Amino acid sequence: MIKLQAINLKCGYENKTVIESASLTAEPGEFITLLGPNGSGKSTLLKTMAGVLKRQGGSVILGEKDLKEYKPQQKARLISNLPQNPKAPADVTVEQLVSYGRTPYTGIFQKDIESAAIREWAMAETGVLKFKDRLLKTLSGGERQRVWISMCLCQKTKIILLDEPTTSLDIKHQEEVLKTLEKLKKEHGITVMCVLHDINHAIKYSDRVAMLKKGKILYSGHPEEVITEESIMDVFGVEGNLTEIPGKKRKYFIPD
């Protein structure tokens, strides 16, 4: 098992600093949500922990080493990253896209029996095996997102980072995507860290939540401990009530 840590991380874009200092640990097998308003630094933090953005200071530790000590192929075997609104060739099939997840192991132009088996397994685990011969562009938004997650799973990493995986999806497909990620965590011990906007999704699916505002992590911990009416007002500027759901062990936030 492997964990991912940000220690006093300073990050941003070019000469602009978005986050001055943030520390966050993704423990093995956790579902962690980065929650906050637009412009709070959620995506910047996620991209920097994924190694997509060059940090301005501090450390990102993957396992026992700093992330920058890994060669790209080594890193790609340990951590996978799904950006917001990923792009694919117009004529790519579901199976072809999923197969790209094996690139860190076999190269994009090589095939072997193990890769084929892993590809089938990844598609089955995410419920897209029945679409394998279809063009990606013919699927619904939620189905496409599960194909992208299947590609990450095919990469056989123990950590998956996702930037707003439910954006632009209707409520049914949002639930399908989040349930797929929850399944990967529960059944395969995969660490999931994602950026979400929905407070109630964060409450429902997260083991831990980091609430950001203006480039700072203001609250971090178990959803029941840190997502309160006060913290929601502090972070989002929204008043409302956290209401018990009959028959459930969690609350639901209803804005005023």
**Span 10-32, mean pLDDT?**
96
Instruction: Select from 133, 134, 109, 129 the least CA-distant residue to 118.
Output: 129
Q: Which domains are seen in the chain, by residue range?
A: 1-78+158-256 (3.40.50.300), 85-156 (no CATH)
Would the pTM of this model clear 0.75, i.e. be above it? yes
Please tell me which residue, 150 or 113, carries the higher pLDDT value: 150
Span 185-234, pLDDT tens digits: 999 999 999 999 999 999 999 999 999 999 999 999 999 999 999 999 99
Tell me the torsion sign for CA atoms 72, 78, 84, 87.
positive
- What is the secondary structure of the chain as a DSSP string? ---EEEEEEEEEETTEEEEEEEEEEE-TT-EEEEE--TTSSHHHHHHHHHTSSPPSEEEEEETTEEGGGS-HHHHHTTEEEE-SS----TT-BHHHHHHGGGHHHH-TT---HHHHHHHHHHHHHTT-GGGTTSBGGGS-HHHHHHHHHHHHHHTT-SEEEEESTTTT--HHHHHHHHHHHHHHHHHH--EEEEEE--HHHHHHH-SEEEEEETTEEEEEE-HHHH--HHHHHHHH---EEEEEPTTSSSEEEEE-
> Which single residue is written with the structure tokens 């959803």?
223
To the nearest whole number, what is the mean pLDDT of the chain? 95
164: its two tokens: 């707003």
Stretch 131-148: mean pLDDT:
96
* pLDDT at position 114 over 90: no
Beta bridge partners of 211: 35, 219
Q: How sure is the predictor about 112, in pLDDT bands with cuts at 50, 70 and 90?
A: low
| Closest C-alpha to 165, from 126, 190, 194 | 194
